[in-house]
Chains A and B, each alone.
Chain A
Amino acid sequence: MRQVLLLLGCLMVGNFSAQADAYRYSLEPLEIAPGVWVFEGAREDFARANGGNIVNTAFLITEEGVVVFDTGPSRRYGEQMRKAIEAVTALPITHVFLSHHHPDHVFGNQAFDADILHALEGTIRLLAEQGNDFADNLYRALGDWMRGTEVVLPTQAVTPGRVTIGGREIELIAMSGHSGADLVLLDHTTGVLLAADMVFYQRAPTTPHTPGIDVWREELRTLEALDFRYLVPGHGPVVVGTAPFEQMHDYLAWLDDTLRSAAGAGMTASEVMALPIPERFDEIAVARHELMRSVVHLYGRYELEALELISEGG
C-alpha cells in the first residue's frame, strides 16, 4: 500500500511540474553589448503556443542597479523576467521604463515596484483608458498564460532628454508614430538604441493607434539619424546597423501608397484586404494578418479623402 501511495505521489509531483512547465516562457537574456541584455520574442501574433511572448524586452546594468525596458505580455512573463534578471546580477532594479501602452509591453508590470514604473504621460493616459479592454482580449487569446494579470499604471511621468543613471548616459526620446506615445531609449554608453515598436523588423508593423503613417515615417527619419550601433526593434531580431529602417520605410510607404490608390479606385475594405503583397515582403512575418488589421485601422481615412461632401447635414 505504501508503495502504491509513493508511486501515486511521484505521479502527482511529475504531473504538477509538467503543468508548471507549460507556462514557462524559458526566457534567456542575451548580452548584446556590455551590460545590455535583451529577451527576444517570437515573430508571431498572440497565441496560446507562445503565451504572448512575441515581444523584445531588455535590461541595462548600471553601477547602481538595473534599468528594465518593458515588462512583457503577462504577470507570469514579468515574474519570470525578473527571475532571469536576478540570475544575471544581484543589483536592485532601480527603474522600469515602459515604451508604450500596448499590452505585450506593459502587462508584466505587477512583477515590479509600481513606484519605479516610468512612462510618457500619454502612455499612462492611454493605458488607463484602454488597459482593461486589452486585458479582456488577451485573457481570451492566451487563457491561463494571463492568470492573475492586472493593469498597473506607471507612477512616474518621463521627462524626455538626457539623464545619467548609475554612470550610464541615457537619452529618453518621446515619439508618437506607432501608438500615440512612444518612448525610445538610447544608451550612449554602448550605442544601443531600444526603439521598441517604433521599429519592427522581419515582422509586419501593427497600426491600431498610429496618428498616421506620415507621422511615423517622419519620426523614423529622426531616429535613423541618431548615433547608435545596435538596434533593438520592438519585434524581430537585434541588428547592427540600419537595415530595419530601410524595411520599415519600404513597408510603410507601400502600405500608404496601396491604401491611397485603392481609395482612389473606390475599392471596398474587404477588397483591399485581399490585394497582393509584394514578394520582397515575403520574409516579413504575419504580413497578411497585419494588412487586414491595418485596413480596419486606417483605410477609412483614405476613403474619406477620396469622397466629396455631397450633403451638409447638421
Chain B
Amino acid sequence: MPRLLPESCRCVWLLALAWLTVTPVAAEVPEDPFRSPMWDYNLARYLGEGADIRHSDTVVLKAPPFAEDATQVPLTVDLSAFPHAVQEVIAWVDLNPVPHLFTLRPEAADIRTVALNFRIQQASTVRAAVRDDQDAWHIGSVHVEAAGGGCTAPSATASNPDWANSFGQVRGALFSPADGMAGSRLKAQVMHPMDSGMVANIPRFNIESVELRHTASQQRLASMSLSESASENPLFVFDLEHDDAPAGITLLLRDNGGNLTESRLGG
C-alpha cells in the first residue's frame, strides 16, 4: 500500500507521525463546556502551566443544582469509577474570591469518596481535578446556582455568645464505605468558625490542614489542606481503602491560630 504513494507524500506522513510522537499531548487545554471565565486561569493557578488536562466523567461531583444556603453547599466527590490510582485531588469554586476549597493527598490509604461543604459567593462552576499515576489531571465539573454571599457572610457560630465553649469540639464515627468497598468511611465534624477573612473586622481564622493517621502505627493515611471556600463547622467524609484492618484512625486538625486538635476513631 505505501508503495502506491509518491515519495514526497510518504515524507509528509512520516513527518506528521514524528510530530505526533514528539509533541507532548498536554499542550492543549480542552474547552470548558460550562464556559467559565476562570477556566484557564484557575487551571494554571492550581495545576500549573502546561499541565496534562482532560475532562472525565469518572470524576463525579455530587452537589445540588442550587445553593439553598450559600454558606453550606454540600459537595461529594465520588471517584468510585475512576480507573487510575488517585495521587491528588484538588477542588475549587471558580468564581469565589479565593476559589480553592481543598487539596487532598492519599498516602497509605486509597480514597474514593471525599465530601465537604463549601461556601459560594455567586453562581459558579465547581471543579475537582484528580491526578493519576502518569501525572495527568482528570477534571469533573458541576454548576451551582446561587443568590450568593456565602464567603462574606459572618459566621453563624461566632454570633452565638457561647461559641468559644464548643470551639474545637469534634464529633465523629466510622461507617461502611459506599458500594461495598473494603475499608471504612470516616465522618467527622469540628466546631470551628472558619472565618474567611472577608468580613469586616474579622481576620481569617480557619483550619488549614487535616491529617488522617493509622492510630497504632502513626502511618499517615492521607493529608488535606483547606482554604477559605470551606464552610464553617466543617464536616468531612472520607472513604478509606487500606490494607491494615481499620484498627483505629487518628484525625489531626490544625488551624492558622496554631490550635491542634487530635481525635481518635475506632480501634
Question: Which residues of A are found within 8 Å of B169, using beta-carbon distances?
Answer: 309, 311-314
The contact string, 1 if C-beta is below 8 Å from chain B, for chain A 144-164, is 000000000000000000000
Query: Is the Cβ of B172 less than 8 Å from the Cβ of A292?
Result: no
Is A265 at the interface (CB under 8 A from chain B)?
yes
**Contact yes or no, B62 A274, CB < 8 A:** yes
User: Across the interface, do B172 and A268 meet the contact criterion of CB distance under 8 Å?
Assistant: no
B235 CB-CB contact with A under 8 Å = yes
Chain B positions near chain A (C-beta within 8 angstroms): 62-66, 68-69, 72, 74-76, 113, 115, 117, 147, 164-176, 178, 185, 187-191, 235, 237, 251, 261-265
A312 to B185, CA, bound (A): 22
Asked if A273 is an interface residue, CB under 8 A from chain B, the answer is yes
Q: Which A residues are in CB contact (< 8 Å) with B176? A: 265-266
A270-B63, A271-B76, A273-B74 known; A307 and B164 CB under 8 Å? Answer: no
Closest B residue by C-beta to A294: B68
A270:B167 contact, CB within 8 angstroms: no
Q: Mark A282-314, 1 if CB is under 8 A from B, else 0.
A: 000000000011011100100110111111111
CB distance from B81 to the nearest CB of A (A): 15
Cβ B262 vs Cβ A311 within 8 A: yes
Kindly state whether residue A136 has any CB partner on chain B within 8 Å: yes
A24 within 8 A of B: no
Interface check A242, CB cutoff 8 A: no
10 A-B pairs besides A313-B261, A314-B165, A314-B168 with CB distance below 8 A are: A265-B176, A268-B62, A268-B113, A271-B76, A274-B62, A307-B171, A307-B187, A308-B173, A310-B264, A311-B169
**A65-B189 Cα distance, complex, nearest whole Å:** 56
Residue of A266, A274, A295, A311 near B170 (CB, 8 A) is: A311
CB of A209 within 8 A of chain B?
A: no
Q: Would you give the shortest CB distance from B150 to chain A, in whole angstroms?
A: 12
Inter-subunit contact A310/B167 (CB<8 Å): no
Min Cβ gap A46→B in Å is: 11
The 7 closest A-B pairs by CB, nearest first: A266-B175, A313-B168, A269-B74, A270-B62, A311-B170, A313-B169, A311-B263
Given A268-B76, A270-B62, A307 and B173 contact (CB-CB distance below 8 Å): yes
Closest beta carbon of chain B to A268's beta carbon, Å: 4
B167 contacts which of A265, A266, A313 (Cβ < 8 Å)?
A: A313
Q: Report yes or no: A303 in contact with B189, Cβ–Cβ below 8 A.
A: yes
A-side contacts of B190, CB under 8 Å: 311, 313
Are A313 and B173 within 8 A (Cβ)? no
In the bound complex, CA of A300 to CA of B66 (Å): 18
Q: Taking each of B63, B74, B168, B264, which has the highest tally of chain A beta carbons within 10 Å of its own beta carbon? A: B74
A310 pairs with B265, CB closer than 8 A: yes
For B63, the chain A residues whose CB sits under 8 A away are: 270
| A140 on interface, CB distance cutoff 8 Å | yes
**Is B172 touching A307 in the complex (CB atoms < 8 A)?**
yes
A137 within 8 A of B: yes
Cβ–Cβ contact B263 & A310, under 8 A: yes
Chain A residues in 8 Å Cβ range of B167: 313-314
A309, A311, A312, A314 — which one has the most chain B CB atoms within 10 A of its CB? Answer: A311
Known contacts: A268-B74, A311-B261. The answer to whether A296 contacts B187 by CB under 8 A is: no
Instruction: Output the nearest chain B residue to A273 by Cβ-Cβ distance.
Output: B64
List chain B residues, Cβ under 8 A from A304. 171, 189
Please tell me if the beta carbons of A271 and B64 are within 8 angstroms of each other in the complex: no
With contact pairs A303-B189, A310-B170, A314-B166 given, residues A296 and B175 touching in the complex (Cβ less than 8 Å): no
Known: A296-B68, A313-B169. A268 touches B237 (CB 8 A): yes
Give bound CA distance, A271 to B60, whole Å.
Answer: 12
Q: Which of B69, B72, B75, B166 contacts A270 (CB 8 A)?
A: B75
Inter-chain contacts of B173 with A (CB < 8 A): 266, 306-308
A310 CA to B68 CA, complexed, in Å? 30
List residues of chain A with CB within 8 A of the CB of B185. Answer: 266
Bound complex: CA A178 to CA B48 (Å)? 50
> In the complex, what distance in Å separates the CA atom of A266 from the CA atom of B74?
14
Chain A residue at minimal CB-CB distance from B115: A268
B175 closest partner in A (C-beta)? A266
Taken together as a complex, chains A and B put the C-alpha atoms of A296 and B64 apart, in Å, by 10
Tell me the A127-148 residues at the B interface (CB within 8 Å).
136-137, 140
CB distance from B186 to the nearest CB of A (A): 9
A307 touches B64 (CB 8 A): no
The answer to whether A296 and B265 touch across the interface, beta carbons within 8 angstroms, is no
In the complex where A266-B237, A307-B189, A314-B165 touch, is A295 in contact with B74 (Cβ < 8 A)? yes
Give 8 pairs: A residue, B residue, CB < 8 Å, sorted on A.
Answer: A266-B176, A270-B76, A271-B62, A273-B62, A296-B74, A307-B188, A312-B169, A313-B191
Chain B residues near A310 (CB-CB < 8 A): 170-172, 188, 251, 263-265
Among A270, A306, A312, A314, max chain B CB count under 10 A is at A270
Q: Which residues of B contact A295 (CB under 8 A)?
A: 74
Q: B72 to A296, Cβ gap below 8 A?
A: yes
Neighbouring A residues of B164 by C-beta, 8 Å: 314
A311 x B235 contact (CB < 8 A):
no
61-101 of chain A: CB within 8 A of chain B:
none
A294 to chain B, nearest CB (A): 9
